[in-house]
Amino acid sequence: MSHATTKRPSNLGDTIFEGLARFSGLFVLVLLGGIIVVLFIGGLPAFKQFGLSFLTSDNWDPVQEDYGALVPVFGTLVTAVLALLMAVPLAFGIAFWLTELAPAWLRRPVGTAIELLAAVPSIIYGMWGFFVIVPIMAEYVQPFIIDNLGELPLVGAFFQGPPFGTGIFTAAMILAVMIIPFIAATMRDVFDTVPPVFKESAYGLGCTTWEVMRSIVIPYTRISVVGGIMLGLGRALGETMAVTFVIGNTNRIAHTIFGPGNTIASIVALEFPESESGSLKLSSLLALGFILFVISFIVLAISRMLLKPGAKA
């Protein structure tokens, strides 16, 4: 009795797919490593010239070739933190409303509008901030805050200064508007992944909508929520043109949130076209880029540490 012989399917396709997947993963590592090496090597002359004082000096004098990173690092961190403080509550409110309170017919158009905000180019945000937000801040918002909060003890000094409209606070506001779509869209998507039976069980026990969100939805999605916030923070740390339009671009540490300043991204955008190849100024700008990369890495590492207890739960 003859048995039909079955031909074993070729595994050539699997081999090719495995090779492409491995190449894609390694390519990301090589690309990331290449960026780090280029920035570090490019900034090495500045690090050698100034040493650790490059991180602590607030000088930026191209004439005397005296450069320091303190002011742009300070501006980068302060604007990013202020932007998160403004954006996270608003993004959470948007996601909460879209998933729990909004009528079904309104969820899709509002969700689409939120996603479209993320596609607006940063230079458009910068122009909008300069021509619309800055005049409003100078004429209404900053004078009101200065008059009502500027005389308070301890914290009043942070709300003083001339109401020019531009400055760290305005830059943080623009950044907040820019990162809200990323955080809100992430929160909305992960809130929708909560199994309905969990929420229905809580409602059956008499929980309110907020109690369900606080006790069921947020604990279930906390890892992804923190990831969305970190995504927004990464956008805020590296934003360039929108901040350049409204921050004032002054190389000094502002002692008030309305004072002008700069960030790493904004000073690189302004100074890079004027830098000569091989100059100490160009090396200092590349060193700033390397520092920005290190800051982003530290933020990511901290977020991973914060997520460890939740990941084990």
* Average per-residue pLDDT for the chain: 86
The tens digit of pLDDT for each residue in 265-303 reads 999 888 887 778 778 889 999 999 999 999 988 888 877
Tell me the pLDDT band of 308, cut-offs 50, 70 and 90.
Answer: low
According to DSSP, the β-strands at 60-61 and 66-67 are antiparallel
179 CB-near residues (< 8 Å, 6+ apart): 83, 84, 87, 91, 232, 233, 235, 236
Of 213, 253, 263, give the one whose Cα is nearest residue 101.
213
14 CB-near residues (< 8 Å, 6+ apart): none
Tell me the pLDDT band of 306, cut-offs 50, 70 and 90.
Answer: low
Residue 59's CB: how many other CB atoms inside 10 A? 15
If residue 61 lies in a helix (H) or strand (E), which one and from where to where?
strand 60-61
Q: What is the pLDDT of residue 277?
A: 79
The tens digit of pLDDT for each residue in 233-262 reads 888 888 888 899 999 888 888 888 888 989
The tens digit of pLDDT for each residue in 197-212 reads 888 888 888 888 888 8
Least confident stretch, 19-33, 47-61, 293-307? 293-307
Instruction: Compute the half-sphere exposure of residue 83: CA atoms within 13 Å on the CB side of its CA.
Output: 34
Instruction: Tell me the domains of the chain and their CATH numbers.
Output: 18-312 (1.10.3720.10)
